[in-house]
Amino acid sequence: MAERDSSLLGGYRVLDLTDEKGLLCGKLLGDLGADVIKIERVGGDPARSIGPFYQDVPHPERSLFWFYTNLHKRSITLNIETADGRAVLKKLVENADFVVESFEPGYMDSLGLGYGDLETLNPALVMTSITPFGQTGPYAHYKATDIVGVAMGGMVYIYGEMDRPPNRLSCPQFYFLGCLHGATGSMVAHYHREMTGQGQHVDVSCQQAVVLSLMVVAEIWDMLKFSYRGMGPFYAGARPGSLPLFSRVVYPCKDGHVFLLVTGASQAGMVASSRALVEMANRDGFALELKDYPWQKIDASSISQEELTRLTDLMQDFIKTKTKAELFEEALEKGILLAPLTNMKDVVESPQLAARGFWEQMEPPELGTTITYPGYPIKITEAPCRVQRRAPLIGEHNEEIYQKELGFSKEELVALRSHGII
């Protein structure tokens, strides 16, 4: 085991029993330095079949989803549906600090591996269960995929074109959100364990994690009885007693799109931002009628839709003559609340991310090439986070864990393998 103080979670062990629903949680604990052991089913975890794949080759050792969500981890295979497999797991639990699982509620209990069982073996254990809706309640056994989950959490309704069904983001978020909150809850429970010696069960609802990501959507309902709905390139502001105010926020430009907010003085920086943008437009002969516009008097509760549309149309006429880079350069310099809508190429080439040393690079020997990963988004002075190792191959660490650590003999390993237990 690693030294306990070499990183924030150095030397603490996580047993990761999850599938795609929970993989990111162990990765996040590994980011902080935990020793994470991915316990895969014999033959490999089904999440290895989730694309995209390295060079588009659909192979269990080529999943880029797997590469990212299993960074830092070691892998052993184990069939916990057999009595011998359960005995092995229990042995591992005795020396573990965290167990993370994402089975259907009740499954672990049915194997005699529920929190109550594991707590008896190791009272200091923190066990984290990540499921779509939580361990109990009327929807606890509902089936969910990403789109079903984000829809139930309210995240689909707030995105969309007006003439089409509301839509999800084109990249799954439901389980990532659950895992993020799972890692947070695990750490709160970890703190309590370190102070008292007492572990506990952390029961995560991915649906609640989605609701917490909606900014002020729930609060708008609570105050104004208005359910926010995605409205194409506009924001729709609720105005009690009148129709919602539509404010354009996505503007086509010469080579793509930018985000720009034009609103009232209630938003800090807004007045200066609008003035600076008009100044820029005026230089090119656009929006001349807005030269001395009284931005500080814009009041979104009373401005007419016609007037706001006139303002944003004038902005639009100017913006479409400029490139993303031209607009963003001046926005940075003058404090204009505008940003380009970047794609992954822009992100990879960002001078800011390079200057921060954001990217992590690994050279998995079996691929013979360098893979670039998003790094940890917090720079920590005393205990910087580093990638411990690339995602493991199926059962890559069976010998290391079973023989060296648990003391199984070669013969016993062979026996376990021939019975389909590892």
Partner 1 sequence: MTGQVFEGIRVADFSWVGAGPQIARELAFYGATVVRIECHRWPETTRTAGPFKDGITGINRSAFTAAYNVNKYGISLDLNMSRGQEIAGRLVRWADIVADSMSVGAMAKWGLDYAGCKAMKPDIIYYSTSQMGQHGPYSKIKGYGFIGVSLAGYGQVNGWPDRDPLPLFNNYSDFISPYYMIAAVVAALLYRRKTGKGMYLDQSQVEVGVNFLAPLLLDYAVNGRLAGRVGNRDAFMAPHGVFPCSGNDRWIAIAVSCDEEWQNLCNGMGHPEWAGDPRFSTALTRKENEGELEGLIGEWTKSHSAAELMTALQEAGVPAGVVQTAEDLFNDPQLRHRQHFRFLEHKEIGVHAYQSPAYRLSKTPCTFTKAAPCLGEDNEYVYREILGLSDDEIADLLIEGVITTETDMPQVLSGRTRG
CB of 371 to partner 1, least distance (A): 6
Query: What residues numbered 334-353 form the site for partner 1, per CB under 8 A?
Result: 335, 337, 339-348, 350-353
| Residue 107 or 221 having the CB closest to partner 1 | 221
Regarding 18 and contact with partner 1 (CB under 8 A), the answer is no
3-class DSSP state for residue 143?
coil
Report the nearest approach of partner 1 to the CB of residue 288 (Å).
Answer: 26
Q: How far is the CB of 109 from partner 1 (least distance, A)?
A: 14
**DSSP classification of residue 369:** S
CB of 266 to partner 1, least distance (A): 4
Given the complex with partner 1, which of 82 and 350 has the nearer CB atom?
350
Q: How far is CA 59 from CA 8, 27, 51, 196, 393, in A?
A: 34, 21, 9, 45, 11
Looking at residues 70 to 109 of the shown chain, list those that interact with partner 1 (rule: CB under 8 A): none
Q: Is residue 243 within the footprint of partner 1 (CB under 8 A)?
A: no
379 touches partner 1 (CB under 8 A): yes
Beta bridge mates, 245: 237
Q: How far is the CB of 118 from partner 1 (least distance, A)?
A: 12
Among 43, 106, 112, 252, the residue binding partner 1 under the rule CB under 8 A is 252
Residue closer to partner 1 by CB (options 120, 136) is: 136
Place of tokens 């981890």: 73
Phi, psi of 320 (to 5 degrees): -70, -10
314-333 footprint of partner 1 as x/- string (CB under 8 A):
------------------x-
Listed in sequence order, the residues at least 6 apart from 188 whose beta carbon sits closer than 8 Å to its beta carbon are 202
Q: By CB under 8 A, is residue 121 in contact with partner 1?
A: no
Hey, which residues between 380 and 419 contact partner 1 (CB under 8 A)?
380-383
311 lies in the binding site for partner 1 (CB under 8 A): no
Partnered with residue 239 across adjacent β-strands are 242
Q: How far apart are CA 389 and CA 74, in angstroms?
A: 8
Nearer to partner 1, 204 or 278 (CB): 204
137-141 contacts at long range (C-beta below 8 A, 24 or more positions apart): 139/207, 140/105, 141/104, 141/105
- The stretch near partner 1 (CB under 8 A) out of 37-45, 95-103, 128-136, 389-397 is 128-136
Q: How far is CA 115 from CA 36, 77, 126, 142, 149, in A?
A: 19, 21, 9, 21, 25
- Residue from 82, 91, 159, 321 that binds partner 1 (CB under 8 A)? 159
DSSP calls for 41-91? PTT--GGGG-S-BGGG---TT-BHHHHHHTTT-EEEE--TTSHHHHHHHHH
